[in-house]
Amino acid sequence: MQLLKDKILAEGRYLGKGILKVDSFMNHQIDPLLMKAIGEEFASRFKDTGATRILTAETSGIAPALAFAMAMNLPVVFARKHQPVTMAKNPFKESAESHTHGNVVDLIVSPEYLQPNDRVIIIDDFLASARTIRALVKLVNASGATLVGIGAVIEKAFEGGRAAIGDIGVKVESLAAIANFDNEKINFG
């Protein structure tokens, strides 16, 4: 997706250790027109999946997942990192190591919003090591729902995430794949 690649080149910053800062348009401040385009692009790629629900992780996955959900007219569910008192009993819960936070985070979804008859597409901001996506896949499996696709806004291809989820057997789409960071330059694959 050229619009996204252009935005990454213009505003993204490589911070070392595989970290790409995209706070100016996705992970802290959100560019609504870019998110709208991202949602429409995901919708064109996943239109024939028969999806009934979109799942993402709190917080950075919410904006692209919501834009996609609006384009598809589907509900979006986000896995919470902390269980509120309002959540139904016996939620689905998985843990994933966060590369940017440097710790393990819980991902929690109420069984009210992820049910066996659902057909789910997972959307996340990054596909890097795929730890978060794998945890989201486990949540889908625990619910009895059917996973029908995985989408990532930005893929860091050099981190092996695509291979780590290759055994899942669903369509995996990324909108901008970074091959490497060479001397702090962002190179797309």
Residue 126 has what pLDDT? 97
The confidence score (pLDDT) of residue 100 equals 66
Task: Give the rounded distance of the alpha carbon of 66 from its chain centre.
Answer: 11
User: What residues of the chain score a pLDDT lower than 70?
Assistant: 99-101
pLDDT at 14: 94
**Digit-coded pLDDT (tens) for 158-183:** 999 999 999 999 999 999 999 999 98
For residue 76, the model assigns a pLDDT of: 98
Residue 154: predicted pLDDT: 98
Q: What is the pLDDT of residue 107?
A: 97
Amino acid at 19: I
The continuous run of DSSP H or E covering 95 comes out as strand 92-98
Q: How many domains does the chain have?
A: 1
The confidence score (pLDDT) of residue 103 equals 87
CATH number at residue 142: 3.40.50.2020
Contacts of 82 (CB under 8 A, 6+ apart): 106, 108
Phi, psi of 47 (to 5 degrees): -60, -25
pTM: 0.96
Note down the domain range covering 152: 2-188
